[in-house]
Chain A
C-alpha cells in the first residue's frame, strides 16, 4: 500500500535509504506471515482431515471390521481345506484351521478397532515406542 513516503521517491539517495527499511519491513512481514502460516498449518493438518473425516473414518471402521473378520475365517477355512487335500486328514485340518481362522479374524477386528496394542507399542524396552519412527 502507499506508505507515507510514497512510491515517487524511489529514484535517488533518500530512496535507497528508504528502500532498506521497506525491505526490512517486507522481510518482517514475510516472517510474520510464515509464522502465522506455521501456526495455522499444524492445526488443519492433524485436526482438519481428522475432524472432517471423523464421521467418515467411523464409516470406514464399520466397513473394515466385518471384512477383516470374514477374511480371517475364510482364509483359515481355505488353508484347512488345502491342508486336508494335501495331507488327506479329511475333517481335522478344516476344523483346526477354521478355529484358528476364527481367532485370526477376532485378532484382525480387535487390531483394526485399536483395542489390541499396536505392534510398535509392544516393543522391548530398548526401543523407543511409536513417536520417533
Chain B
C-alpha cells in the first residue's frame, strides 16, 4: 500500500461468484457502486422526506441539485427533453456521488475505471440512438447530413459526422475516467513524496512541507474536478439527447 500510486485502483473480489464460467464476482468496485447508488438515493429520500415549505439545509441541497439538472436539461434540450430528466438526474447524481466517495481515504473510486464510465457513456449513446430511431425512424440519419452542404462534399461530411458521432461515447467516458485516474494518482504521488522526504531527517521534514502543501491544494482541486466532471457528463448527455429529439438540421 505504501508508495504504489496504482494500488488504489486494484479490483479485489469480495464474494467470488462464477456462473457458467463467467466471473460475476462481487468486487470492491461493485460494493462502492452499491454504496454510491444507496448513498445518493438515501440522501435524496431522507432529505426531502420532511417536505418542509421552508427547506432545511440538506433539503435545499437536494432541491438545488434537482433544479440544477432540470435547468441544464431544459436549456440544452428544451421542455421536450424533460422526459429524460430521470435518466440525466440519475447519471449526474451517480457520477457526482461516486466521484465524491472517491475522495474519502481508502475508498475505491469507481469512476476511475474506464469500463464503468464507458458503460455509462454507452447507456447515454444507446438511449440517443434507440430513441432517435424510434421517434424519427430513418429521419434520425439526417443528423449526419448537415443542411446546406454542396452535393460533392456530402460523402466526406457524412463520413466526418459519423466518426464524430462515434467518438462521443469515447470522449465522454475517457474524459471522466482520465480525470479521476490522473487526479488520484497525482494526489497519491505527492502524498508519497511527503513520507519519503520525511525519512531523511530534519532537512527532509522541512522539505516535505512543499509536497504537503501541494497535496492539500490538490485535494481542493480534486473536489472541484469531482463536481466538474459530473457536471460535464450531465451537460453532454443533455446535448446528445437534444440530437435525438431534434435530429433534423
Contacts and interface: CB of A to CB of B under 8 A. Distances in A.
Interface of A: 45, 49, 53, 56, 59-60, 63-64, 67-68, 70-72, 74-76, 79, 97, 100-101, 103-105, 107-108, 111, 119-120, 122-124, 127, 132-133
16 contacts: A56-B227, A59-B228, A60-B232, A63-B175, A63-B179, A67-B174, A71-B168, A72-B171, A100-B163, A101-B167, A103-B160, A104-B161, A105-B167, A111-B164, A119-B146, A123-B248
Contact of B164 (A59, A63, A107, A127): A107
Interface of B: 67-68, 71, 77-78, 80, 143, 146-148, 156, 159-161, 163-164, 166-168, 170-171, 174-175, 178-179, 224, 227-229, 231-232, 235-236, 242-243, 246, 248-249
B160 A100 contact: yes
A56 B228 contact: yes
A76 B171 CA distance: 13
Contacts of B179: 63
A107 B171 contact: no
Given A63-B232, A64-B232, A104-B167, A122 B146 contact: yes
B166 to A, nearest CB: 5
Contacts of B68: 49
